[in-house]
């Protein structure tokens, strides 16, 4: 099936709706009728209609004739607005989103927007617990009105319902990481599952018998769930048992939380042979806890972080990390929002950016083992 033909058909069908040739509430021609008229296959017509369904322009159900929905996106073409809102929490220290991690994603976004004449503006809200956060963000969105081309959202629990509200306002949006566990559209993230899987396989190859995962909440807008489940997948693939993996819950991703949680865990259960932390700060907290407990890193406890902050290269020992490609994620988000604004759509397939494992002193995985396990993952389904 020619995807180019189905996309052209989708564009023509969209214009028919916008021009009123296919009236709102009216019945659509059947797929067979359109296939005959355009001399294409029924599957090609159905693929075109799936694009319109994703944009909420039509509704089609098995065994009934499709109809044009009462609400559909504004006409396609470049919007007159050129502002992209970056929506995320404001910390008490005044650092937007998550310090360096957030800034580097925003820098990639800005670089991706500038060449097209777009720019970003931040819409922040108070953390950690602002019960009116969603309302305040939506007030800013409503005030921006037609000047707003789209939103890049750093989702947290207080604004978990933001994507649905933006849909109601017909504002394009992209989230950093997936908005929900099974989300398939409108996000940019890194290959956290694959990275976790690689680390799980490497830990097993190194002969570690008991390991721990330190993680904050597996919630909306976070990649922690993908890292955790990916790690377990790789660990089990390598023949290890899940009972040999301790999950240490942390209330936040800060260093002191990782330190205290690891100390408490070791005092109760003993030290694991290796730790995979959901973030670099948690990993640095583990390293500091090991010094306090008299445990050598990596000889007695190997440690891997999973953010890729610049400071991780200068810790003692330097931290091995699953390196999140932050600038590239921001650039991909910019590209998605620009395409959505130009094409007048609100749904695009989510994008994954490759994340590399950067080996440093805290966990020295031999190059041959790393290469073999990467090849095994690439060759697997």
Phi, psi (degrees; rounded to nearest 5) at 330: -65, -40
Structure tokens at 158: 């207080």
Give the per-residue pLDDT at 97: 39
Give the per-residue pLDDT at 40: 86
**Strand, helix or coil for residue 352:** strand
Between 28 and 136, the higher pLDDT residue: 136
Secondary structure element (H or E) that encloses residue 13, with its range = helix 3-19
Mean pLDDT of the chain: 87
Q: Which residue has the tokens 């609100």?
A: 346
Contact status, residue 229 vs residue 196, Cβ threshold 8 Å: yes
Secondary structure element (H or E) that encloses residue 262, with its range = helix 255-269
Give the per-residue pLDDT at 9: 84
Give the per-residue pLDDT at 1: 42
Q: Which residue has the tokens 């929905």?
A: 69
Q: Express each pLDDT in 140-151 by its tens digit.
A: 999 998 889 999
DSSP string, 165-206: HHHHTT--EEEES-SSTT--BSEEEE-HHHHHHHHHHHHHHT
Across the range 17-46, mean pLDDT stands at 80
Give the per-residue pLDDT at 75: 42
Give the per-residue pLDDT at 92: 42
pTM: 0.75
Q: What are the distances in angstroms from CA 256 to CA 116, 222, 279, 346?
A: 42, 20, 13, 41
Q: What's the pLDDT band for 341 if we cut at 50, 70, 90?
A: confident
Q: Nearest 5 degrees, angle CA 32-CA 36-CA 38?
A: 115
Query: Among residues of the chain, what percentage have pLDDT more than 70?
Result: 88
Other beta carbons within 10 Å of 31: 18
Closest CA to 370 of 197, 191, 189: 197
Q: Express each pLDDT in 36-82 by its tens digit.
A: 888 888 888 888 888 777 777 787 765 455 666 654 444 444 345 78
Across the range 24-30, mean pLDDT stands at 77
β-sheet bridge partners, residue 129? none
Query: Among residues of the chain, what percentage have pLDDT more than 90?
Result: 57
What's the longest Cα–Cα distance across the chain? 77
Contact status, residue 66 vs residue 49, Cβ threshold 8 Å: yes
β-sheet bridge partners, residue 145? none
Whether 202 shows a pLDDT value over 90: the answer reads yes
Whether 96 shows a pLDDT value over 50: the answer reads no
Contact status, residue 284 vs residue 361, Cβ threshold 8 Å: no
Across the range 104-120, mean pLDDT stands at 89
Other beta carbons within 10 Å of 332: 24
Q: Which residue has the tokens 């966990």?
A: 363
Give the per-residue pLDDT at 335: 93
Give the per-residue pLDDT at 44: 85
Between 90 and 40, the higher pLDDT residue: 40
Across the range 367-381, mean pLDDT stands at 92
Residues 6+ apart with CB under 8 A from 359: 320, 365, 367, 370
Residues 6+ apart with CB under 8 A from 144: 83, 85, 121
Angle between helices 31-38 and 42-54 (to 10 degrees): 120
Q: Which residue has the tokens 């994703």?
A: 54
Structure tokens at 39: 């001399």
Give the per-residue pLDDT at 78: 39
Give the per-residue pLDDT at 275: 98
Give the per-residue pLDDT at 222: 79
- Of 14-23, 176-185, 290-299, the range with the highest mean pLDDT is 290-299
Q: Whole-angstrom Cα distance, residue 199 to residue 202?
A: 5
Report all structural domains of the chain as residue ranges with CATH numbers, in order of start. Answer: 3-68 (1.10.10.10), 83-188+329-351 (3.40.50.2300), 192-324+356-379 (3.40.50.2300)
């Amino acid at each position: 099936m020619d995807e180019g033909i189905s996309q052209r058909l989708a564009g023509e069908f969209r214009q028919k709706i916008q021009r009123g040739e296919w009236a709102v509430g009216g019945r659509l021609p059947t797929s067979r009728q359109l296939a005959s008229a355009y001399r294409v296959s029924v599957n090609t017509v159905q693929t075109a209609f799936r694009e319109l369904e994703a944009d909420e322009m039509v509704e089609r159900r098995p065994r009934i004739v499709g109809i044009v929905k009462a609400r559909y996106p504004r006409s396609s073409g470049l919007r007159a607005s050129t502002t992209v809102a970056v929506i995320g929490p404001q910390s008490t220290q005044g650092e937007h989103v998550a310090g360096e991690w957030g800034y580097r994603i925003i820098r990639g976004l800005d670089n991706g927007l500038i060449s097209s004449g777009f720019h970003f503006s931040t819409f922040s809200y108070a953390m950690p617990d602002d019960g009116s956060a969603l309302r305040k963000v939506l007030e800013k969105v409503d005030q921006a009105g037609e000047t707003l081309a789209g939103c890049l959202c750093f989702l947290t629990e207080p604004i978990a319902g933001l994507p649905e509200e933006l849909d109601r306002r017909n504002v394009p949006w992209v989230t950093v990481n997936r908005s929900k566990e099974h989300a398939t559209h409108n996000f940019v993230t890194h290959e956290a599952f694959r990275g976790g899987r690689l680390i799980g396989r490497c830990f097993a190859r190194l002969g570690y018998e008991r390991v721990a995962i330190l993680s904050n909440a597996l919630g909306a807008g976070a990649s922690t769930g993908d890292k955790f489940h990916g790690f377990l997948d790789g660990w089990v693939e390598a023949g290890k048992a899940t009972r040999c993996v301790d999950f240490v819950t942390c209330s936040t991703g800060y260093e002191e939380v990782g330190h205290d949680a690891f100390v408490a865990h070791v005092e109760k259960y003993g030290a694991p042979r290796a730790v995979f932390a959901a973030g670099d700060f948690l990993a640095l907290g583990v390293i500091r806890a090991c010094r306090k407990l008299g445990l050598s890193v990596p000889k007695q406890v190997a440690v891997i972080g999973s953010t890729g902050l610049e400071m991780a290269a200068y810790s003692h020992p330097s931290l091995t990390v699953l390196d999140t490609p932050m600038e590239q994620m921001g650039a991909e988000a910019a590209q998605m929002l620009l395409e959505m604004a130009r094409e007048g759509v609100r749904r695009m397939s989510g994008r994954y950016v490759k994340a590399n494992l950067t080996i440093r002193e805290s966990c020295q995985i031999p190059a041959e083992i790393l290469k073999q396990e990467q090849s095994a993952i690439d060759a697997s389904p």
